């Protein structure tokens, strides 16, 4: 029996491989490495488990993830502390050994660690949040954040990300929110202080600390549910080093509360806080399904990348998605990551085309020039002067869909002229 299924699996892989190759449109590892794309350890090693889901895949060790990322052409690797070090081994000699091993694997595979993040949501110690009433929990949270900063320096990371996870509640009336925010700020302040200490000692640049929000999950109510809330928190006066702290919006997290990710990103851009970006896809007002980038909302993704290109975003694109649990261990590295990366690159290049499109360009310019109602004082005259121009909004939307489906390059359906 095992032999028979091994044979079947080989045949099925051959079929998937043949069909994937027939899809075409893939980029070489060298081309993929030109983009600031990072692959999370937790995404690659995700076993498919969830509240209603048993695992469908085997665990994958960091060295194996790195080997596969290198082969695919994903140049950067990101991790939570507990993705690679058991909670009980953190801040012990075992941690030092593990970190040394990770450094070696990164070097062997020609990868760099761009970001480290602290897991403050999974372990039982965080059940009442990392800013819990108990001073012991809070002191431990501060130590964990400081430890992540040190690991980040050790691995040469540029960013530290904090998704507070359980910073919220399931039931009403159990929490003093302003006090909890103050406590949460204390842990971040400790992380920034530690960063300044280590970077001074090592004569190396400080990390960029980025806050990530999610509107719900794992708690019913979160105290900092959106990227806007995080930006407000950065400027609340509770942080001792607000200049060291920015945001890491996640595409689906903004969609989950019903917002427009593009508008959330725009607000972070004008606040000069858009430093890191988690990319994935999913559905509005639903769960954090973490689908691969652009499989649900391709038009929106084109639009999001136009925004980022137009405003010179040069931070990482962190592929914080979950390979679907119907994808096998083999499929994770042979289909899931390569296809997600290639779609991203295609959308990035398409965004460049859309920004350079002469039709869109002329339409935008015409709209901005307005209707020469010079000196007009009446609302009606001003409206009349641009009335016909405003039809360009719909024309631009049509043109963007043409870029998405390739009509702008002559792709035609049913004998269109
Ligand atoms: C949860 C997330 C997290 C964060 C991660 C980085 C497990 O929905 O998106 O991924 O991105 O903790 O800090
Ligand atoms: Mg998520
Ligand atoms: Mg994320």
302 and 389, same structural domain?
no
374 and 338, same structural domain?
no
Residue 294 lies in a domain: yes
Domain boundary residue, one of 345, 376, 398:
345
Domain boundary residue, one of 296, 322, 345:
345
Three-state SS annotation for the chain: CHHHHHHHHHHHHHHHHHHHHHHCCCCCHHHHHCCCEEEEHHHHCCCCCECCECCCCCCCCHHHHHHHHHHHCCCEEEEEHHHHCCHHHCCCHHHHHHHHHHHHHHHHCCCEEEEEECCCCCCHHHCCCCCCCCHHHHHHHHHHHHHHHHHHHHHCCCEEEECCCCCEECCCCCCCHHHHHHHHHHHHHHHHHHHHHHHHHHCCCCCEEEECCCCCCCCCEECCCCHHHHHHHHCCCCCCCHHHEEECCEHHHHHHCCCCHHHHHHHHHHCCCECCEECCECCCCCCCCCECCCCCCHHHHHHHHHHHHHCCCCCCEECCCCCCCCCCHHHHHHHHHHHHHHHHHHHHHHHHHHHHCHHHHHHHHHHHHCCCCCCCCCHHHHHHHHCCHHHHHHHHHHHHHHHHHCHHHCCCCCCCC
pTM summary value: 0.97
273 and 195, same structural domain?
yes
313 and 229, same structural domain?
yes
Residue 74 lies in a domain: yes
Q: Which one, of 159, 75, 139, 136, lies nearest residue 109 by Cα?
A: 75
- Ligand closest in space to the Cα of 164: 1
**C-alpha of residue 106 to centroid of ligand 3, in Å:** 22
**C-alpha of residue 314 to centroid of ligand 1, in Å:** 21
Residue 353 lies in a domain: no
**C-alpha of residue 121 to centroid of ligand 3, in Å:** 13
Residue 319 lies in a domain: yes
Atom of ligand 1 nearest to the CA of 290: 8
- Ligand closest in space to the Cα of 250: 3
Q: What is the CA radius of gyration of the chain?
A: 24
186 and 248, same structural domain?
yes
**C-alpha of residue 128 to centroid of ligand 1, in Å:** 18
How many separate domains does the chain show? 2
The pLDDT assigned to 156 comes to 98
Residue 350 lies in a domain: no
The pLDDT assigned to 376 comes to 66
The pLDDT assigned to 2 comes to 59
367 and 340, same structural domain?
no
pLDDT single digits (tens) 8-50? 999 999 999 999 999 999 999 999 999 999 999 999 999 999 9
Q: Which of 38, 78, 163 to mutate to test the pocket of ligand 1 (most atoms within 8 A of CB)?
A: 163
**C-alpha of residue 320 to centroid of ligand 3, in Å:** 5
Query: What does the alpha-carbon distance between residue 121 and residue 50 come to, in Å, rounded to a whole number?
Result: 14
pLDDT mean for each 10 residues of the chain (417 residues): 85 98 97 98 98 97 98 99 98 98 98 98 98 98 99 99 98 97 98 99 98 97 98 98 99 98 98 99 97 98 98 98 98 98 98 98 96 76 93 98 97 92
372 and 335, same structural domain?
no
The pLDDT assigned to 372 comes to 73
Residue 415 lies in a domain: no
Residue 181 lies in a domain: yes
**C-alpha of residue 6 to centroid of ligand 1, in Å:** 35
Domain boundary residue, one of 293, 317, 345:
345
**C-alpha of residue 253 to centroid of ligand 2, in Å:** 6
Atom of ligand 1 nearest to the CA of 288: 8
Atom of ligand 1 nearest to the CA of 162: 13
Atom of ligand 1 nearest to the CA of 117: 13
Question: Residue 194: beta bridge partners?
Answer: none
The pLDDT assigned to 3 comes to 77
- Ligand closest in space to the Cα of 83: 1
**C-alpha of residue 345 to centroid of ligand 1, in Å:** 22
341 and 280, same structural domain?
yes
- Ligand closest in space to the Cα of 218: 1
Do the Cβ atoms of 67 and 45 come closer than 8 Å?
Answer: no
The pLDDT assigned to 125 comes to 98
pLDDT single digits (tens) 97-136? 999 999 999 999 999 999 999 999 999 999 999 999 999 9
Q: Check which CATH number belongs to the domain holding 292 and give it.
A: 3.20.20.150
**C-alpha of residue 163 to centroid of ligand 2, in Å:** 9
Query: What does the alpha-carbon distance between residue 95 and residue 280 come to, in Å, rounded to a whole number?
Result: 31
401 and 340, same structural domain?
no
> Atom 9 in ligand 1: which residue has the minimum CA distance?
320
Residue whose structure tokens are 């602290």: 118
Q: Which of 255, 275, 320 to mutate to test the pocket of ligand 1 (most atoms within 8 A of CB)?
A: 320
**C-alpha of residue 314 to centroid of ligand 2, in Å:** 21
The pLDDT assigned to 371 comes to 83
Q: How many CA atoms lie within 13 A of 164 on its CB side?
A: 35
Do the Cβ atoms of 123 and 115 come closer than 8 Å?
Answer: no
Atom of ligand 1 nearest to the CA of 78: 6
Q: Which of 49, 117, 168, 256 to mutate to test the pocket of ligand 1 (most atoms within 8 A of CB)?
A: 117
Domain residues for the domain of 384 are 358-409
317 and 239, same structural domain?
yes
Atom of ligand 1 nearest to the CA of 121: 12
Q: Which residues line ligand 1 (CB under 6 A)?
A: 42, 80, 117, 161, 163, 212, 214, 250, 278, 288, 320
- Residues whose CB is under 5 A from ligand 2 (ion)? 288
The pLDDT assigned to 4 comes to 84
381 and 240, same structural domain?
no
Residue 3 lies in a domain: no
383 and 318, same structural domain?
no
């Amino acid at each position: 029996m095992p032999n028979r299924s091994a044979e079947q699996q080989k045949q099925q892989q051959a079929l998937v491989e043949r069909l994937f190759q027939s899809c075409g449109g893939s980029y070489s590892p060298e081309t993929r490495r030109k983009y600031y794309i990072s692959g999370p350890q937790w995404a690659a090693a995700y076993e498919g488990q969830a509240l209603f889901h048993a695992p469908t895949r085997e665990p994958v060790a960091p060295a194996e993830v790195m080997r596969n990322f290198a082969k695919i052409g994903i140049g950067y690797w990101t991790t939570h502390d507990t993705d690679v070090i058991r909670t009980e081994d953190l801040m012990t000699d075992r941690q030092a050994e593990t970190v040394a091993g990770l450094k070696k694997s990164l070097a062997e595979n020609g990868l760099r660690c761009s970001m480290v993040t602290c897991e403050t949501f999974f372990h039982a110690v965080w059940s009442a949040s990392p800013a819990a009433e108990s001073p012991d929990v809070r002191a431990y949270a501060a130590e964990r954040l400081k430890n992540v900063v040190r690991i980040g320096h050790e691995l040469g990371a540029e960013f530290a990300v904090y998704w507070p996870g359980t910073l919220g509640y399931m039931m009403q009336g159990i929490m003093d929110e302003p006090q909890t925010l103050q406590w949460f700020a204390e842990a971040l302040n400790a992380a920034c202080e530690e960063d300044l200490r280590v970077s001074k000692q090592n004569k190396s640049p400080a990390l960029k600390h980025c806050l990530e929000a999610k509107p719900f999950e794992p708690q019913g109510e979160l105290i900092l549910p959106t990227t806007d809330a995080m930006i407000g928190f950065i400027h609340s006066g509770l942080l001792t080093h607000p200049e060291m702290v920015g945001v890491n919006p996640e595409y689906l997290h903004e969609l989950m509360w019903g917002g427009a990710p593009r508008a959330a990103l725009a607000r972070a851009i004008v606040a000069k806080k858009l430093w890191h970006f988690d990319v994935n896809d999913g559905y509005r007002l639903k769960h954090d399904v973490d689908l691969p980038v652009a499989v649900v909302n391709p038009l929106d993704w084109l639009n999001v990348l136009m925004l980022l290109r137009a405003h010179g975003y040069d931070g990482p694109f962190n592929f914080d998605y979950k390979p679907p649990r119907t994808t096998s261990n083999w499929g994770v590295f042979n289909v899931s990551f390569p296809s997600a990366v290639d779609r991203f690159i295609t959308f990035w290049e398409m965004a460049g085309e859309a920004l350079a499109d002469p039709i869109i360009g002329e339409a935008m310019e015409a709209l901005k020039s307005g209707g020469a109602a010079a000196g007009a004082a009446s609302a009606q005259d001003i409206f009349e002067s641009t009335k016909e121009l405003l039809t360009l909004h719909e024309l631009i939307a049509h043109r963007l869909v043409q870029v998405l489906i390739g009509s702008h390059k002559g792709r035609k359906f049913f004998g269109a002229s």
